[in-house]
Amino acid sequence: MEVLFISWDGADGGYLSGLYFPLFHALGARGIKVSTVQFTWADAARVQSLNASAQRHGLKYDAINVGAGQGGFSALKNLPRGAALIRKKIKAHGFEVTMPRSLIPGAMTLIARASMVGPPALVFDADGMMHDERADFGGLSRESPVYRSLRAVERAVARSSQTVIVRSSAAAQLLVERTGIAARRLHVAYNGRSPTTYDVGDEASRQAARAAMQVPGSAPLIIYVGSLGPKYGVAAMAGALRHLLAVPEAPHLRVFSRPGPHLTELLAPLAPFSAQVRCDYVDEHRLAQLMPAADLGLALITPSLSTRGVFPVKVAEYALCGVPAISSRSIGDVDVLAAQAPLALHTLEHGEGDFGALTKWFREASIARREQSRVDARRLALEHFGLETMCDRFERALREAVAFNR
């Protein structure tokens, strides 16, 4: 099976090298060959890095520069160009499936299909709910023509697709309500990571990692890994950390995030605990070596309509490393998963009233019953967040789409 994956994004694109390229490599071993075309405004160095990553995974990758910025005009002027390129690639390579990720690639694909006889199957990777994220965190009004147009694109792409892939059961339910498509066409696939790259390690490797982070061997260790911003619950995280760092066991905190105003906002309320706190920024490979040494990982996201449709990939990485995690209530399916493994995952209501329960859970899961929480976290991860599990769900969606399209 030949699949064309289409994305639209900018300067980072780390999700391609970190998430999709390993997934596509795994699908290749199952007879599903995925080629990627990325419409992007990333610079030449970033494109070169992504191309090198694709080559390491044995994948075809084309970057199409769309000019500066990701605004509505940039997207609009590139729709006909993108559609023409997609149509050209389909005719040249005979793809059986097109798989656009999110709305702009979805619109391009619909335009391309409109002039084709017997177009390939369409699988909509509805990852992220981009239009709702812009409304929740980017200032876009839900009454605006832009938002309404994006909702219309979502509806049209979902209805035209043979199957749709989402990152949570909540997103699946929302899409059924919004678009009227049959629930059987929806496939939930959590973001997966390699369980060999993200592993629990052993006592020696964990102690070496703690030494590298300058954490005393007996002190509980809390980590945060990733970006910071309005979406990531900085105020709630600071509030939680004030309580966690104050417990009698005097935990240490290591924050792995780029410097900036949001990092300053997080650290300012933690000034009384400055001796316990350090910040750094290291690459993904090094993070995978350091994470197993932690006793708690933070993965808070501000609850909103758009975050019902996401799965916090850091929860997957922490859990694969045997690290219990805190996430926010009502984010994707984290509440359901926390009920399955209460020592491995705790959900936090964003407000002062929940911090007493949080510190009680932390002292049990991350300190008193640490070895059991390590086992439970890894077990939860292998069941739901492993790369092979994600691969299983994508494969099912792709093969069903081809069967429905015949």
352, two tokens: 């002062």
At 227-283, the pLDDT tens digits run 898 888 899 999 999 999 999 999 999 999 999 999 999 999 999 999 999 999 998
pLDDT band at 308 (very low <50, low <70, confident <90, very high): confident
SS3 assignment, position 211: helix
End-to-end CA distance of the chain: 14
pLDDT above 60 (res 342): yes
At 126-148, the pLDDT tens digits run 987 888 888 888 888 999 998 99
The per-residue pLDDT for 13 is: 64
Taking residues 369-382, report their average pLDDT.
96
**Mean pLDDT for the chain?**
92
pLDDT above 80 (res 219): yes
The Cα–Cα gap between 391 and 397 comes to 10
Q: Are 288 and 255 within 8 A, CB to CB?
A: no
Q: Are 235 and 351 within 8 A, CB to CB?
A: no
> What per-residue string of b and e applies to 69-94 under the rule 16 or more CB within 10 Å gives b?
ebeeebbeebeeebbebbbebbeeee
Other C-beta atoms closer than 10 Å to the C-beta of 100 total 28
Supply φ then ψ for residue 101, to 5 degrees: -100, 115
133, two tokens: 């994220």
Q: Are 188 and 393 within 8 A, CB to CB?
A: yes
pLDDT above 80 (res 74): no
The Cα–Cα gap between 35 and 127 comes to 18
SS3 assignment, position 386: strand
DSSP per position, 240-308? HHHHHTTSTT--EEEEE---SHHHHHHHGGGGGGGGGEEEE---HHHHHHHGGG-SEEEE-----SGGG
**Using CB atoms within 10 A of its CB, is residue 214 exposed (0-12), middle (13-18) or buried (19+)?**
exposed
The per-residue pLDDT for 353 is: 55
Residues contacting 170, CB < 8 A, separation 6+: 308, 309, 332, 333
At 30-56, the pLDDT tens digits run 999 999 999 998 888 889 999 999 999
Q: Are 278 and 221 within 8 A, CB to CB?
A: no
The answer for 312, left when phi > 0, alpha when psi is -120 to 50, beta otherwise, is beta
The per-residue pLDDT for 135 is: 85
Gyration radius of the chain over CA positions: 22
Residues contacting 31, CB < 8 A, separation 6+: 1
pLDDT above 60 (res 72): no
Q: What percent of the chain has pLDDT over 90?
A: 75
Q: What percent of the chain has pLDDT over 70?
A: 97
CA dist list (Å): 203 to 43, 137, 210, 217: 42, 41, 11, 11
Q: Are 295 and 310 within 8 A, CB to CB?
A: no
The Cα–Cα gap between 129 and 307 comes to 8
The per-residue pLDDT for 309 is: 85
The Cα–Cα gap between 148 and 155 comes to 11
Q: Are 83 and 89 within 8 A, CB to CB?
A: no
pLDDT above 60 (res 70): no
pLDDT above 80 (res 400): yes
pLDDT band at 352 (very low <50, low <70, confident <90, very high): low
At 89-131, the pLDDT tens digits run 999 999 999 999 999 999 999 999 998 988 999 999 998 788 8
pLDDT above 80 (res 10): no
The Cα–Cα gap between 324 and 192 comes to 17
